[in-house]
Amino acid sequence: MIETAAIIKRTADHIAQLLSGEHTGHDWWHVYRVWQNALHIGKQEHVDMFVVELAALLHDVADWKFHGGDETAGSRSAREWLMSQSVGGGVVDHVCQIIDDLSFKGAGVRTSMKTREGMVVQDADRLDALGAIGIARAFAYGGHKAQEIYNPEISPTLHRSFEEYKKSSGTTINHFHEKLLLLKDLMNTKTGRAMAEERHNYLVNFLERFHLEWEGKA
């Protein structure tokens, strides 16, 4: 138990150092919030918390968005770190499988998790794309990608493949329709679904206000 706690702490310190100061909404504090979400959900769902905590902490260690679209970069980096910490092979494989399957890959792409631990971490990550924090992160990332905030002449696209999703160059408001508003119905766990409901409604209310102001009606 003591060694498990030490590995978690070293992993958290490693990720904090690696991602500190990142400016796109995929920084250490995003990972920290996902970790805390995962702790809360996992305790309700009765899963292997060592796997859950490691996967939550390492889920963005090498995000494909910042590694040339390479969707295997994250699990490779996670595996290297976990092996350096002498974590057992079964746990390493489980964590890496979760990281490989975690990301949203487009409205038309099925991204189902194979284990309860994976479901917990996926829900925890998706919660951080909802609510007030989800809105803040969407605009931070949109600015990083030099996207327009909104352009009524550009319609949202429900991407049919991961390749199509990766090449997306729409507006930040379109991203709400292409991903964020879809997440509530993709939650895996009872606890995650309950937490997502209020955050989803916050997104809906924000968009209603945004469009009123856009048209000069508020």
Residue-range domains of the chain with CATH: 2-214 (1.10.3210.50)
**Nearest residue to 194 via CA among 127, 129, 133:** 127
Place of tokens 């690696």: 18
pLDDT per residue as tens digits for the range 87-123: 999 999 999 999 999 987 766 777 779 999 999 999 9
Share of the chain above pLDDT 90, in %: 72
Q: Is the pLDDT of residue 130 over 70?
A: yes
SS (H, E, C) 44-62: HHCCCHHHHHHHHHHCCCC
**What does the pLDDT read at residue 115?**
96
User: What integer best gives the mean pLDDT of the chain?
Assistant: 91
- Torsion angle of the four alpha carbons 174, 177, 183, 185, in this order, in degrees rounded to the nearest 10: 180
pLDDT per residue as tens digits for the range 9-55: 999 999 999 998 888 888 999 999 999 999 999 999 989 999 999 99
User: CB-based contacts of 4: which residues, under 8 Å, 6+ apart?
Assistant: 50
Band of residue 210 on the pLDDT scale cut at 50, 70, 90? very high
